Structure 1
Amino acid sequence: MTPLFRLLLIALLSLPAVLASPGRANEREAVVLGLSQNRVAITADFDGSEILVFGAVKRDTPIPADAPPLEVIVTVSGPSAPVTVRRKEKKLGIWVNVDSVLVDSAPSFYAVATSAPFGAVLTDIEDLRHKVSVERAIRSVGAAMNIRGAQDFAEAVVRIRREEGLYSLRPSTVTVDQQTLFRTAIDMPANLTEGAYTTRVLLTRGGEVVSSYETAIDVRKVGLERFLYALSRERPFIYGIMSLVIAVLAGWGASAAFQLLRDR
């Protein structure tokens, strides 16, 4: 291989990195994240939890004087699963299901916290790329051609779960100090689904994502709740018999107590 050919080959191989370098310069900012707890235990008296998310921005170089201010987005997403959504209509005085659409993937819980109004911290293109907003976190590939207003079904999932406290957008709830330290608190309701809850932190400047970090929070039932949940899934027959026995004993105990009070 001649020296000239070797030089041309090295130049061609390094060309993509050179072309990409202007857009990747901001990757010199990285997230150092902390969580108040990385595990949530669901017990009999569980009425929700609060996760404190805090961290700092590690930099290799000083912030340029003309750089837009740093903004922070924190998302917490529960396990995703398909959801069947049905539309009802009143026919002959009776409400009946007329259409149904399978939403391919919807998180059981989704919270978005930002350091400023959502439109100010992330552009629509970046939202589409990183799927940050509640609406973009839901994936609905398509519906049958004869179903009108197919997009309404995905919107119905968002509306219902917002009313249940499972989906939320929390603008201006992330505190950023000196473009370096940040913190926020995410409230998690009592009706959580077991699984790994993905926690993402995105740093943005001028509406564009410059860095991101991802970790997970483990949400599990513990104690008696865990035993009963596992029994109902793995041994449904035994779980049914046990539930019947408990119901009979409870009924008999209540009857005996009332009889005792009546005899007095």
Structure 2
Amino acid sequence: MIRLLSLLCLLSMPAKAEEIVLGLSRDEVAITANFDGSDILIFGAIKRDAPAPTGDKLGVIITVAGPDGPVTVRRKARRLGIWVNTDSVNVAVAPSFYAVATNMPLADVLNAEVDSKARISIANAIRTYGQMDGKEVDFEDALIRIREDQRLYQTLPDAVLVEDETLFRTNISMPANLTEGDYRAEIYLTRGGEIVDVYVTDIPVKKVGLERWLYNLAHDNALLYGLMSLAIAIAAGWGASAVFSVFKR
């Protein structure tokens, strides 16, 4: 909500000379039992009432953000021969997934001050509790590094293809380890580092089929889920034992 209010303040200007018209390759992402990731094609066009402005560079920034949530980042250290948690930092808001795709390096199409207000880059999308110092910055960097290794955070410069300063498209690859919820896609149009238009839409990511049934059963009827899991384990063990007995004969 705070981010949307910031965007509204940034865009409180006269009638737009350039406006985004957006399309998506899919309206939702379904997580099934064999889900191993998904690609989303985001494409659109820039509608104008006059010829494209000359001079300032045209920037197209596309972000896809998963559900936000607090995260506690801990540092481990070796004490008396064992690894234990030592320092920790509470991150107030961290998206579970975040991808930033641009048609040029982000610094070339977005002013740093605008980025700090709109919170577009990965570093600015994450917020800690209270005033940050060197310790908090180190822990935030560690969180970003870990989630980048898991492909949950992605910075994709030059990944947005722009044709004739009118048509644009990019492909966002989403890994298998997604958090269920509404993912927000935001498309920013910039000139001279300033945002001139923004388009926001949601992409539901949800479990379906057997995956949804098992998830609901585990959360709504834990006892039945536990008994069923136990029965399956017993049946699997008995079946394996029976097979080995046959081969021994």
User: TM > 0.5 between the two?
Assistant: yes
Query: Which residue of structure 2 lines up, in the alignment, with residue 254 of structure 1?
Result: 240
Hey, what's the Cα distance between the residues in 2 that align with 1:26 and 1:110? 31
Aligned residues: 239
How far off is 1:197 after superposition?
0.5
Q: Give the TM-score of the pair, scaled to structure 1.
A: 0.86
**Root-mean-square deviation (CA), in Å?**
1.9
Query: Which residue of structure 1 lines up, in the alignment, with residue 6 of structure 2?
Result: none
Letter aligned with residue 259 of structure 1: S
Contact 1:74/1:202 (<8 A) preserved: yes
Letter aligned with residue 22 of structure 2: L
Hey, what's the Cα distance between the residues in 2 that align with 1:143 and 1:244? 49
Contact 1:78/1:193 (<8 A) preserved: yes
Contact 1:67/1:205 (<8 A) preserved: no
Contact 1:102/1:143 (<8 A) preserved: no
Query: Which residue of structure 2 lines up, in the alignment, with residue 12 of structure 1?
Result: none
Matches within 5 A, 1:112-151: 112-142=100-130, 149-151=135-137
Q: Which runs of 5+ in 1 are unaligned?
A: 1-19
Identify the match of residue 27 of structure 1 among 7, 16, 34. 16
Hey, what's the Cα distance between the residues in 1 that align with 2:243 and 2:99? 48
Q: Give the TM-score of the pair, scaled to structure 2.
A: 0.91
Contact 2:41/2:172 (<8 A) preserved: yes
Query: Which residue of structure 2 lines up, in the alignment, with residue 17 of structure 1?
Result: none
State the Cα deviation string for residues 217-239 of structure 1 (Å, max 9, x = none).
11111111100011111111211
Matches within 5 A, 1:33-52: 33-52=22-41
* Local SS of the residue matching 2:50: coil
Matches within 5 A, 1:1-264: 24-25=13-14, 27-64=16-53, 66-142=54-130, 149-263=135-249
Contact 1:26/1:211 (<8 A) preserved: no
Contact 1:105/1:140 (<8 A) preserved: yes
Q: Which runs of 5+ in 2 are unaligned?
A: 1-8
State the Cα deviation string for residues 94-153 of structure 1 (Å, max 9, x = none).
2211122221111111000000011101111111111111111111123799xx712222
Hey, what's the Cα distance between the residues in 1 that align with 2:138 and 2:239? 50
**Greater C-alpha Rg:** 1
Overall identity of the aligned pairs, in %: 54
Contact 1:71/1:176 (<8 A) preserved: no
Contact 2:21/2:46 (<8 A) preserved: yes
